[in-house]
Amino acid sequence: MQRNTRHSPSRLNRRAALGGAGAAAAALGLGHLDRATAQDATPITAGHPLVGTWLIMSPPGATAATFGADGSAELGWAISYVDPAFPDRDVVFNTPGMGTWEPLDEHKAHFTVVGVLSDAKGTYLGTATLQGYPLVAADGQTFTDMEPEGQITVRNAANAIVSDQGAFAAGVTATRMTPNSVVFPEGIPVAGTPTG
């Protein structure tokens, strides 16, 4: 009796499947390396003079802000204030503004941060989004924001815009903070304040 040797098509399919799985695993592995390499790359914000912590003086008062080399931004403004957008609340509380920034050129940048708003009982009221355009001086120790595009947008709990304040930032100034130096601008004497 003659024996015919036949190759089972299932073995070929198994080999092809294993080879395909190996190729897919290798591709996924290489893709993973590409993403890791991209994450480790130096962001374009790293060498910008805005990177650091600043004392900002604005019409409402002083604010501390940090602009990270990774493009993150944090503004630590007053924790409570009276907001005409919420006339039924005596006071509105807000979280620090958290967000991102990007360079526009060698000295100018654009940032956007969002703070979460609540009332004295902890009821969520909405958010405040702040955009600014700081321009860092050539010495890297101060910046100003004179742009009319800077704005604060307040949204209620349903995300509807209840206040849109443009050109708020015109006249904002800031000085770089270091562990041994925080520069406050000279104050204007107030009636009844000792001067000596």
Q: For the segment 78-93, what is each residue's pLDDT rounded down to a tens digit?
A: 899 888 888 899 999 9
124 and 118 in contact (C-beta within 8 Å)? yes
pLDDT of residue 195: 57
Give the total residue count for the chain: 196
Statement: the pTM of the whole predicted model exceeds 0.85: no
Say how far apart CA 116 and CA 114 lie, in whole Å. Answer: 7
- Examine the pLDDT at 26 and tell me if it is beyond 50: no
Reference 74, options 112, 39, 125; nearest CA is 112
Cβ neighbours for 55, distance < 8 A, ≥ 6 positions apart: 62, 63, 64, 174, 175, 177, 182, 183, 184
pLDDT in tens, 139-176: 999 999 987 777 889 999 999 999 888 766 567 899 99
- Residue 143 three-state SS: strand
Strands 52-58 and 92-94, sheet pairing: unpaired
- Examine the pLDDT at 17 and tell me if it is beyond 50: no
174 and 135 in contact (C-beta within 8 Å)? no
16-54 exposure pattern, b = at least 16 Cβ within 10 A, e = fewer: eeeeeeeeeeeeeeeeeeeeeeeeeeeeebeebbbbbbb
State the DSSP H helix or E strand holding residue 162, giving kind and residue range, or none if neither. strand 161-166
- Examine the pLDDT at 77 and tell me if it is beyond 50: yes
Say how far apart CA 112 and CA 98 lie, in whole Å. Answer: 8
pLDDT in tens, 115-144: 999 999 999 999 999 999 999 999 999 999
pLDDT of residue 185: 72
Residue appearing with tokens 């919420």? 86
pLDDT of residue 37: 40
